[in-house]
Amino acid sequence: MSAKSTKDPRFGEIDEAVSAILRFPGDRLAQFYCSFGSSEIDTYRVLGTQGDLTMEPAFRFEKAYRFRLNTNGKVETFSYPLSDQFAGQIAYFS
């Protein structure tokens, strides 16, 4: 894990960015990077031995979700309508 600080006054008390590599059984790795100082990106991508999955938008709740699945060169796109994900969470935890 690593963290990055700059002389940017917005990050006087916190790190601007953090990254990590996670190691799982079977020599599987996961890598992530999160930054408060970079341009806005609302995407995540999962890479595997037979293809990849891209979700965009990935984290915003006011837009419908769409993801693209590429398996051995065959590309499929899935779309999901806008939904109120917080209502389900509130109902579950109430």
Residues 33, 49, single domain; the answer is no
The yes-or-no verdict on residue 16 having pLDDT over 80 is: yes
Q: Look at the chain and count its residues.
A: 94
Residues 35, 53, single domain; the answer is no
Q: Does an H or E element contain 62, and which?
A: none
Tell me the average pLDDT of the chain.
86
Overall average pLDDT of the 6-16 stretch: 80
* Residue 12: band (very low, low, confident or very high) from pLDDT cuts 50, 70, 90: confident
Residues 12, 46, single domain; the answer is no
By three-state DSSP, how is residue 92 classified?
helix
Residues 26, 48, single domain; the answer is no
pLDDT at 5: 66
Residue 35 belongs to what domain range? 1-39
pLDDT at 41: 82
Residues 90, 51, single domain; the answer is yes
pLDDT at 75: 97
pTM of the model: 0.65
The yes-or-no verdict on residue 83 having pLDDT over 90 is: no
Instruction: Give the total number of structural domains in the chain.
Output: 2
Please say whether the beta carbons of 8 and 16 come within 8 A: yes
